[in-house]
Homo-oligomer: A and B are copies of this chain.
Amino acid sequence: MPQEHAKKDRRVVRSQEALKQALLALMSQKSFDAISITEIVESANYNRGTFYAHYENKEALLDDIIDELIRKFLASFRAPYEHQDVFRINELTANSVKIFDHIHQHAELYTTLLRSNVMPNLREKMFLALKEISMDELEYPTTGVNQELLAIYSIHALLGLIFHWVESGFEQSTSYMQEQLILIIQWRPMEVKAKKEG
């Protein structure tokens, strides 16, 4: 049963899909802020009233696109442990490793979102989604470390690497990013030198 709640009117499905595709097409050409609702509906060949019948504003339309992407993103994170009970360090990092695969798989879409300057929003949503499942579904053996703060720290760090990878235009290979993540997690700060002036 693929339909989740109430089966939607075909007209609604058509309209929303056309609006989403129109927005994505425009976003591959210009900044999200520079796109007007009028522009979206004319590109999609719908009436402006139809837009407002389904969405409050263009952010809501973008959210629709992003939410679908995040569902797939979460699935890639869950994949390594959904049939397991206990992880050791190598298996844990395998979680994050799968995420790099997901991103590379949807490189074009992520690049469009980057080009259109909506990454900060996407990042925030991805953080919330990742935090929720990692607090619900994982358990860290901590000794005096606040578990929530640890999760927040780790997830933001991971997302930082991922979005940098997208911003760099996928300069590095997927496996290089995966390697580096593992190295960084195992890295211990010992001594940091201040560079000389100049």
Contacts and interface: CB of A to CB of B under 8 A. Distances in A.
Interface of A: 33, 59, 81, 84-89, 92-93, 119-121, 123-124, 127, 136-142, 144-146, 149-150, 152-161, 164, 180, 183-195
A148 to B, nearest CB: 8
Main secondary structure of the interface of A (DSSP, over half): helix
B191 A150 contact: no
A164 B80 CA distance: 28
A149 B120 contact: no
Q: How many copies does the complex hold?
A: 2
Contacts of A155: 160
Contact of A120 (B59, B124, B154): B124
Contact of A156 (B33, B85, B138, B159): B159
B157 A88 contact: no
Contacts of A124: 119-120
Contacts of A59: 33
Nearest to A165: B149
Contact of A138 (B120, B145, B159, B194): B194
A182 B192 CA distance: 15
A192 B145 contact: no
A188 B86 CA distance: 16
